[in-house]
Amino acid sequence: MTIEQAYLNYIDGKWSPSLTGRVTESINPANTNDIVGYVQNSDEADLELAVSAANRAKGAWRKLSGAARGDYLFKVANLLEAKLADIAETMMREMGKTLAECKGETARGVAILRYYAGEGMRKIGDVIPSTDNEAMMFTTRVPLGVVGVITPWNFPVAIPMWKMAPALIYGNTVVIKPAIETSITAAKLIACFEEAGLPPGVINLVTGDGAVIGGGIARHPDIQGITFTGSNKVGKQIGQAALSRGAKYQLEMGGKNPLIVAEDANLDLAVEAAISGGLKSTGQKCTATSRIVVHASVYETFRTKLVDQVKQLKLGNGNDATTWMGPCANEKQRDTVLSYINKGIEEGASLLCGGGVPADEELKSGYYVHPTVFDGVTSNMTIAQEEIFGPVLALIPFNNLQEAISLANDVEYGLSASIFTQNIANILTFIADMDAGLVRINAETAGVELQAPFGGMKQSSSHSREQGQAAIEFFTSIKTVFLKA
Ligand SMILES: NC(=O)C1=CN([C@@H]2O[C@H](COP(=O)(O)OP(=O)(O)OC[C@H]3O[C@@H](n4cnc5c(N)ncnc54)[C@H](O)[C@@H]3O)[C@@H](O)[C@H]2O)C=CC1
Ligand SMILES: O=C(O)CCC(=O)C(=O)O
């Protein structure tokens, strides 16, 4: 290991090694012989320094005008745009998705920053008529204080950005703990904030183990808000820890998203959406299509078209322009996906394609799994109920729309859902009856727009919404002002 390969924590405006003296390697899931670099394996003492710095910085940061905070975010956006190629490549090496996807996501990070930079100039309250005609009553908003940001590895730029940018524009200071797998990408993002000249302590990065640093954020008495994306298990622990000490929390967790293909659907477009929504990023999106509910009259035609095209998808390293799908992001994720595939077979589903790891010599050193399609799936099977977070699609037939919507709703999650149909009555029924935070018609289940609210129903979220103007609800508190001479 050379010193150049070690990425540091960023605390109080300075890059610093962890007090533990320990580092963890970040490896390329497409080729585990490729070590991307080393990141700090921090502990509670490092977190303490970061929280103290954020706490000291919060008074001056909240006193700046929204426009002044916005100016900083515009500068960060320009720097991220200038470094797009390097950051996208780092993301690809740490996480495995294709370079095109990584570039698209980094560009999305730039757009998120610009959107929230503009928010600094928009209204933050309402005038409400008082019953006292000599008084004025209005609302304003104040920041929470220090916000803890805990992020996963599947969107290493977009998710940190859609949490940090609104936190900052509304006047909070930030301590971020990214997933260990993508901590180098996070360090490169934070370097953009440093170069933009954010005052020391306004943004702090501490890398390390989830339970130690993430758990430490959840429990820390000086962190007033926690925003998390990741698994349901960890999300619930964070929610409980935050609730027990009265902190605000926001959780975005799993999905088990259905795509309904009606009898009048454009089947070619529906197949394209199933493949793109289900298998891009190797199925590692909380919005990924996981169950495809297809009308019996078009089931066989749809299945044939789908399987023919899935078999053509080229697996490989994301740095190869001919690669369509990269590996799973880490070994544990690959093993989880394989265990779900085995469970599907054990419970009686029929494997139509995929179902294992590729035998090709050049793919042996990565965490690859063939894109997999099952049919003969019933709603009670594990693969129809649990989030797999991998390239696995389950086909389920239906006979009428009410049955399709019941099947689609028959899971504990409610993040996103799609239907392919031309029938307006069916579309209206789907919009009304589908229990999901995001419903999409004639479009894939994945792909959210940064200017619109995003979040799930049921077990998919803490019922809050992120992104767009909805973000203000989490990152601020309303203050009602009654003013009389
Ligand atoms: N909703 C989504 O976008 C995501 C969902 N997942 C789901 O979670 C499964 C497991 O993936 P993981 O990476 O293990 O997710 P995870 O929930 O363990 O990790 C998400 C973040 O939480 C942190 N963390 C882990 N344990 C913690 C704890 N005890 N307290 C506080 N923070 C903690 C991690 O370090 C990471 O920064 C996936 O198979 C998938 O089903 C994973 C990543 C993203
Ligand atoms: O579909 C998207 O663009 C966002 C997905 C997402 O938020 C996630 O997987 O955590």
Secondary structure (DSSP) of 32-67? EEEEEEEEE---HHHHHHHHHHHHHHHHHHHHS-HH
Nearest to 471 by CA among 112, 177, 17, 145: 112
Q: Is the CB of 151 under 6 A from ligand 1?
A: yes
The DSSP H or E segment spanning 416 is: strand 416-420
**In this structure, which residue's CA is closest to atom 2 in ligand 2?**
447
Domains of the chain: 6-253+461-484 (3.40.605.10), 257-441 (3.40.309.10)
Q: For position 478, what pLDDT does the model report? A: 98
Ligand 2 atom with the smallest distance to the CA of 252 is: 10
Q: Is the dihedral of CA 429, 432, 436, 442 positive or negative?
A: positive
- CB of 231 sitting under 6 A from ligand 1: yes
pLDDT tens, 308-351?
A: 999 999 999 999 999 999 999 999 999 999 999 999 999 999 99
Helix (H) or strand (E) holding 413: strand 413-414
Tens digit of each residue's pLDDT (9 = 90 or more) over 18-67: 999 999 999 999 999 999 999 999 999 999 999 999 999 999 999 999 99
Interval 238-261 mean pLDDT:
98
Tokens representing 266 are: 């454009």
Active site residue 119: no
Per-residue pLDDT of 100-144, as tens digits, reads 999 999 999 999 999 999 999 999 999 999 999 999 999 999 999
The reply to whether ligand 1 has any atom less than 6 angstroms from the CB of 182 is no
CA–centroid distance, 235 to ligand 1, in Å, is: 8
DSSP letters of 242-311?
Answer: HHHTT-EEEEE----EEEEE-TTS-HHHHHHHHHHHHHGGGG-STT-EEEEEEEHHHHHHHHHHHHHHHH
The verdict on ipTM greater than 0.85 is yes
Q: What pLDDT does residue 3 have?
A: 45
Q: Which of 94, 105, 252, 466 is catalytic?
A: 252
Q: Which residue's CA is the nearest one to ligand 1's atom 36?
A: 179
The mean pLDDT value for 434-458 works out to: 97
CA of 237 to the centre of ligand 1 (A): 11
The response to whether residue 286 sits with its C-beta less than 6 Å from ligand 2 reads yes
CA of 163 relative to ligand 2 center, distance in Å: 13
Contacts of 416 (CB under 8 A, 6+ apart): 255, 257, 287, 436, 437, 438, 439, 440, 445, 446, 448, 456
Query: Is ligand 1 within 6 A of the CB of residue 454?
Result: no
Tell me, in angstroms, the distance from the centre of ligand 1 to residue 229's CA: 7
User: To which residue do tokens 């200017």 refer?
Assistant: 451
> Rounded to the nearest whole angstrom, what is the distance from the C-alpha of residue 362 to the centroid of ligand 1?
29
Lowest mean pLDDT of 4-8, 88-92, 206-210, 461-465, name the range.
Answer: 4-8
- Tokens 């260990």, residue located: 180
Indicate if the alpha-carbon torsion angle 111, 114, 118, 119 is positive or negative.
positive
Per-residue model confidence as pLDDT tens digits over 346-395: 999 999 999 999 999 999 999 999 999 999 999 999 999 999 999 999 99
